[in-house]
Amino acid sequence: MAFTLQAEAAEAPQPLFSGEVSSSAVQAMHPFPEHEQYQAGTIKPNYVSQNQLDDEVRKKYNEWKTRYLKKHPKKSDQYYVFYNLEKEAAPDNAVSCSEGHGYGMLISALMAGYDPQAKDYFDGLYRFYKAHPSVNNPALMAWQQIKTGAGDIIDTPPSNSDDGSRSATDGDMDIAYALLLADKQWGSSGPIDYLSEGKAAIAAIMKEDVNQQKWSLKFGDWVENNDPDYGLATRPSDFMLSHLRAFGNAAGDPNWAKVADNTYGIIQTISTKYSPTTGLLPDFVVWSNGGYAPSPPNLLETDRDGYFSWNAARVPWRVPVDYLLSGDTRALNQTKLTNAWISKKTNGNPSKIVAGYKLNGDPLDDNDPAIAYSAPFAVSAMLDSSNQNWLNTLWKSIVNAPTSSNSYYGNSIRLLCMITISGNWWDPTDASN
């Protein structure tokens, strides 16, 4: 079904089930557009007005919601993000994953105020998350959900398989951050205590997803600290420094600063030693010979594990957000280096961004659509006013790329990056909010 901005904004919210209070009865305290004041000297696209920036976000949100946000066929009070529409996941009966679920919870919390049903969506996503816990910790979400049997039964793969019953750190972190957003957006005095649930998720992440010997982020709650292959390995796309800052503020736990310190140290080590001309980080990082190094091939996924590929594509979005919000300069040089390299590599033409590079900047042989790469580069371009023309060109490219021509992964990352670029990403633990 096609959506227009006018029709979507005027659409009356429908309760999820009999007796539910519609979200229209609960006022959003941080309605979209938020227009956050980012760090002085950072930029946004300037060839269009702020209203046009916001309208482009609304348009892509409507398209994303129509395509991926689905009501559970058997549970009328639950929603999930359908991540296998383009058959990009295995097995074929996969319908949802915690990564996409985290994206959905972030998006619905951030778009409240524009979408009158945002709270209904968020609460439905929350219920689905709680209905599909990791086998290792109920405060975390099982990585994958599948359709089973002859029809509409959605379940988590059995715990004796490796196909989704345990958690993944990126989904865990986004879900926890989204719960903090929900507390600031709607308060926690209703049926769901968002703040308590967020703090429970944060505590579980610290217990299960952090190696507290090194204060490094693990791949998920399935990794044992003493595992020789994975115990000290980490995934740079999980380097959500602003999340770590918010977790420390919300939990009152100084150990989150240790995780952030180590994470910033990994960024500096890898970019200085292994990608001094590009600043690129690889999909996975390992502890080898007393230091951090790019992963060898096939550590966890493919022969690209040590390259800037489909996981690391998110780094130029995830890492600079902390500078935008807090002004922490520890990754500023790496982010600026990567942005300068990609701008020069493509001669300022976003259509020349390809789906993956070796750390020295050589392109990988992949002709897939690269919106999952170009959108994050637009976030990193915000950090230096000399990038104004480059940022304008990137913005034009990502807003003009049709949703129908891209996958769940690229479309979700693109929308979250657009929310950030337009000035609408915010820290729920900032006292000024």
Residues assigned a catalytic role: 170
- Give the DSSP per-residue string, 388-413: HHHHHHHHHHHHHS-GGGS-HHHHHH
How many CB atoms lie under 10 A from the CB of residue 85? 14
Cα–Cα distances (Å) from 37 to 58, 107, 126, 160, 250, in that order, read 20, 19, 29, 48, 21
How many residues are present in the chain? 433
The encoded tokens of residue 346 equal: 């493509």
Gyration radius (Cα) of the chain, Å: 20
CA 311, CA 290: separation in Å to the nearest integer? 25
The encoded tokens of residue 237 equal: 């796309």
Phi, psi for 95 (deg, rounded to 5): -120, -25
CA 257, CA 62: separation in Å to the nearest integer? 37
Q: Which amino acid is at 176?
A: A
Phi, psi for 324 (deg, rounded to 5): -55, -40
CA 350, CA 392: separation in Å to the nearest integer? 11
